[in-house]
Amino acid sequence: MRADEARNGGIRMFSRLIIAAAIALFIAPVLAQEHPEHPGHAQKGKSTEKRVSTADISAGIRKNIDADSKKSADSKFHVKYEGQDLALDLIRVHDDRLSDLGGGKYFACVDMKGTDGKTYDIDFFLTGQPGEMKVTDTSVHKIDGKPLYDWKEDNGKWHKVPAS
């Protein structure tokens, strides 16, 4: 009789596990309500607005770099820095540093290789909707890993400060 009791106890335990898993899968979407990770995401009452995802920002950067590179005679992306025209190739978009700055403005950090052999960290600022992101400004943030400026937040707004 003990073997039957053990088997029935195991079956009951397994049944309880299955039921608990089913309940968890049913309730999880209800409990996992979305919260904005960055300022500027659509909030209640604004459901008709399209949300710009980090993938949209990354795609906007890549599209801009590709378009500008195709227009240039040397097929490079060009940025002005201290009176010089830097000819650059994309290494990577820092997908972990893409940000919604609020007010329809977005930020992305990109590593690029110059024809001079140096690695440039370029800050890109964008506006727009998914599929229609436009680069509004670029600036050279770092050269070979050395920052030219830092970012500081004051009262919810970010601004450049001299590198420390």
Which pLDDT tens digit goes with each residue over 71-127? 999 999 999 999 999 999 999 999 888 888 888 888 889 999 999 999 999 999 999
In sign, the C-alpha dihedral spanning 83, 84, 85, 88 is: negative
pLDDT score recorded for residue 99: 84
Give, in words, the CATH class of 54-162.
Answer: alpha beta
Whose CA is closest to 58, among 86, 9, 98, 87? 98
- Residue pair 156/143 in contact (Cβ under 8 Å)? The answer is no
